[in-house]
Amino acid sequence: MADEPVKVVYHLTEGLDQASRAMSNIRNHLRAEPDTKIVVVANGDGIKFLLTGATERSGRPFDGAVAALASQGVDFRVCSNTLIAHDVPVSRVLPGVRLVTSGVAEVARLQAREGFVYLRP
DSSP string for 8-70 = EEEEE-S-HHHHHHHHHHHHHHHHH-TT-EEEEEE-GGGGGGGBTT-B-TTS-BHHHHHHHHH
* CB of 96 or CB of 118, closer to a second copy: 118
H or E stretch including 82? helix 80-85
For residue 114, the minimal CB distance to a second copy (Å) is: 10
For residue 56, the minimal CB distance to a second copy (Å) is: 15
For residue 33, the minimal CB distance to a second copy (Å) is: 5
Q: Label residue 49 left, alpha or beta by phi (over 0 means left) and psi (-120 to 50 means alpha).
A: alpha
Which class for 45: exposed (0-12), middle (13-18), buried (19 or more C-beta within 10 A)?
Answer: middle
* CB of 53 or CB of 90, closer to a second copy: 90
Please report, as ranges, the residues that interact with a second copy according to CB under 8 A.
2, 6-8, 11, 13, 21, 24-26, 28-29, 31-33, 36, 43-44, 79, 81, 85, 101-102, 104-105, 107-109, 111-113, 117-121
* CB of 16 or CB of 102, closer to a second copy: 102
For residue 92, the minimal CB distance to a second copy (Å) is: 20
